[in-house]
Structure 1
Amino acid sequence: MSELQELKWYVVHTYSGHENKVKATIEKAVKTRGMEDCITQVVVPTEDVVETTKTGKEKTRQRKVYPSYVLVKMIITDESWYVVRNTKGVTGFVGPGSKPVPLSEEEVMAMGIDTTTTKLVNSDIDLEIGDAVKVANGPFSGQVGVVEEINLENKEIKVCIDAFGKKTLFVVEFEGIEKI
């Protein structure tokens, strides 16, 4: 497989209902193998749907926009292809034969993925799950914690700090933290 030196979005087909498991497994494999530069983001596109219950109440829930598919922003190398392709629950890349075909920027934007936010996080903030950060403002100002989750849509990060003798999770905006 030829090596492309550009991050592109690829579509991965999964077993139905395994999208979030596949996402978590790929993210864990990327972290353990130190491949954060090759595979930068894994997304299960969702949308909010308002449903009316039997009692007449409106309830909002998240629905997968593309069931059985996961989007991966990556540089295709032999190793990155192998990691994604051999993840439990993955049936293959979308493309002819075993050759992954990247999505165009227009296709990615049509799917509702904000590419400007993705670039902001990857270049300006440059954070990954597990990174040590210092809280810059708010009630935990000055505390050092670990990034547990990154929410691109809301521009928020879940940070785990040691407060009052126990591990505490809290949400902070991108501007409210500094990478150590």
Structure 2
Amino acid sequence: MKKYLLPSIKLTALLIVLLAGIYPLFIAAVAKMAPGKGDGVTVMHHGKVVGFANVGQKFTEDKYFWGRPSAVDYNATGSGGSNKGPSNPDYLKIVEERIDTFLVHNPAIKREDIPAELVTASGSGLDPHLSPAGAYAQVARVAKTRGIPAAQVQQLVAANTKVPLFGLFGPATVNVLQLNMALDDLK
């Protein structure tokens, strides 16, 4: 027993030092070199902090583009999905309610043309992005509410669309907060 106990204690002590001491310090040092210095990247608009770059926000007014629904009501301290599968009756009821709400506010869109991302929550519940299709589906509502031409709003969506890295890696995305800030800056 002595033959195995001493090496086990040494290995445990070594792993504690490495994994509970050196590794976290290394990760903290790397984070301090990242944008935001490891505290997240805040978004400023007209001298005020309006949010974080990678955390979705709740927009419910018709004059704004709506982001993806959140199972945690956009609470970053409780990030997570609903854990309900696509055949769960409660989940299906929530999705149907979201579809009905979307159709009431966007009568120009047909039910089958609603992008799934506008009625289903992401895994984190904090997704700040939409696909371009999710943004374009809301153009008519936003343009009508703001009294501006739909073509101008479409141009704004196009200008705020981030293309995949090298045109290959990942989908095209639109950051909803940045798009809404650009809308507010229109005169």
TM over 0.5: no
TM-score, length of structure 2 as denominator length: 0.22
Larger Rg: 2
TM-score, length of structure 1 as denominator length: 0.22
- Greater fraction strand: 1
